[in-house]
Amino acid sequence: MDRINLFEKFESFNEHGSPKIIGELNGQQVKLAKFKGEFVFHKHDNEDELFMVLKGKFKMEYRDKTVELNEGEIVIVPRGVEHKPVAEEEVWVMLFEPASTLNTGNLVNEKTKKQLESI
């Protein structure tokens, strides 16, 4: 019920590719992440995923096209669709997705984060 300041939360961590939980509602979680570089193609079989750019920009690559996302833009990746975020420079992103969503979806590799920190 209290105010959450997104930029204060972003200032509180520096790791890339390690989403932090800042809120939960209706079985969904709100997460903040800093990305830099190229992620891996993956999909979530049962979960749709929203990305919103708060600072910077990145490209969402699909198998058949690429969408460039800038500050103040969102994209919803439907369940089952393979996607790969790519950020040339650091980007600050808010994620909205079910609490069950694993960052690497159907893949489990060195980028997988099973236990997310709440901040």
Residues engaged in binding a copy of itself (CB under 8 A)? 1-7, 23-28, 30, 47-50, 54, 62, 67-69, 72-78, 81, 96-98
Instruction: Quote the least distance from Cβ 66 to a copy of itself, whole Å.
Output: 11
Distance CA 106, CA 88 (A): 24
Neighbours of 87 (CB within 10 A): 22
- Letter for the amino acid at 14? N
Of 27 and 110, CB closest to a copy of itself: 27
Minimum distance, C-beta of residue 110 to a copy of itself, in the bound complex (Å)? 27
Q: Toward a copy of itself, which CB reaches closer, 26 or 109?
A: 26
Provide, rounded to whole angstroms, the least separation between the CB of residue 90 and a copy of itself. 18
| Strand, helix or coil for residue 7 | helix
How many C-beta atoms surround the C-beta of residue 59 within 10 A?
15
